[in-house]
Amino acid sequence: MTDQAHIPETAVAASEKLATLQADKDWTGKLLAGDAAVTQEWNGLHERVHRGDDEAKEAKSLADRVAAAMTGDQRSLSDPEAKQMNSTAAMLRELGIRDEVVTQTLSGRDVTQAEFDAVMNWQTRVMRSAEFTKRYLSGDPEACQKMTLAAIVLSSNIKTELRSS
């Protein structure tokens, strides 16, 4: 049975495989007859060709890109996203945010609903505090760090948790 595991990694390879399969009368007959596996392969190949290749992103996994951004090495930055990740890492470090949190931020780590709610409640409470608000608006490093951490959590995706019955 044909499945998505047989879809090539690159758009060029997918296009070549598609051309080869289209020349195969048996395969095209199955496609025209509505064979589910062949149709799935057809759709997967077309999707891969349509999606194209982003060589900079394919060259490195997200983890590799985050690790590169964490080094601060400007020489390895070949695309705008990598430059943005590097700048974000530098800015967060300047605020005194720990490297593990910077790495999680750049990786797009999801937060739990409980984390989101706790931070939302904290932010609501401190923004009602005239003393904290004054410190934050005047650029107090600790207040800025805390508000940045809150912004990170509140702008993160919330994990979907399956409930057991």
**Biggest alpha carbon–alpha carbon distance for the chain:** 76
Can you state the angle between helices 62-71 and 99-107, rounded to 10 degrees? 140
What pLDDT shows up at residue 44?
A: 80
- Torsion sign across C-alpha atoms 95, 101, 105, 107: positive
Q: Any idea which residue has 């989101």 for tokens?
A: 116
Structure tokens at 102: 């910077």
pTM of the full structure: 0.59
What pLDDT shows up at residue 53?
A: 62
The region of weakest confidence among 50-54, 90-94, 108-112, 124-128 is 50-54
Top pLDDT among 96 and 27 is at 96
Top pLDDT among 161 and 114 is at 114
Structure tokens at 66: 């985050």
pLDDT in tens, 100-157: 999 999 888 889 999 999 999 999 999 999 999 999 999 999 999 999 999 999 998 8
**In the chain, domain spans:** 4-53, 60-108, 110-160
Rounded CA gap, 65 and 147, in Å?
Answer: 26
Can you name the residues that pair with 110 across neighbouring β-strands? Answer: none
Residues composing the chain: 165
Q: Any idea which residue has 């060029």 for tokens?
A: 12
- Contact assessment for residue 46 and residue 12, using Cβ atoms and an 8 Å cutoff: no
